A = this chain, B = another copy of it.
């Protein structure tokens, strides 16, 4: 667990996309952040108050979260000075960067000297069990995609938020570094050893109240040959009661695989449901979540209506329409 609240480090981020981790925290767990810290030259803001380390400390911040992708895969000297000062002031550090905090000797020294933690959320911090497949109490939802990066995390966060608004019991369960930094906990599934993938998801979604929902962040796609094994481990470890189909309708081919066409929603529905029912015979497909960011409002609403008619399932774009229809369907399970 990463201690909250955070100060969000934006460094010298060149554009909004580079700050997607910070933006995710700001959008989904605003109470987890007291403010943002920007270096000279930073071109973005996530709309929080700019704070010095001292101001953030006074406001109660416990952890400086690197909310930005760094340039060139190197933690620059400009960043280092701030990170080391933060450690000396009693902040922990948390990062989802490929190059690890723990591999930077000066950060390790400063953390030790000040008794602080370095959280590299890409690296599993737990020895996960092998999955035992036993039925767990409580309910679970998983978004399965036609492709990678079609909006599965966003869908899960939106469903979780809508459930909480309605007073339902819900936990967003992060399976990637952005989700882990947003919530402070989770499983970095793409870095887990093969034999323990499904077990890590059982660990992440343990027995719970019968009316509690784990809203599990999806990864990859059964139809994406690079990552399909990760997706199946999520389906079998998560033993979902409900699947949501996630789709981005304007994509020309599978992400990173120019020779591969996207599957139809029907193909994903049939394949994912057959596989999910191995672990949970009662699993149902309850709706569709479409990322319509590349469409006009009218096109998007037409597309959602056509999808509903075609699939016989509620269809939403959680960013545009909210996740209400999905939660309506989940509330009946």
Contacts and interface: CB of A to CB of B under 8 A. Distances in A.
A134 B259 contact: yes
A259 B135 contact: yes
A194 B195 contact: no
A67 interface: no
A305 interface: no
A274 B269 CA distance: 13
A193 B189 CA distance: 9
A273 to B, nearest CB: 12
A198 B226 contact: yes
B228 A233 contact: yes
Contacts of A71: 130
B198 A194 contact: no
Contact of A275 (B192, B193, B195, B228): B228
A227 B225 CA distance: 17
15 contacts: A133-B257, A135-B259, A192-B193, A192-B194, A194-B229, A198-B227, A225-B236, A225-B239, A228-B236, A228-B278, A229-B231, A229-B233, A229-B236, A260-B278, A271-B275
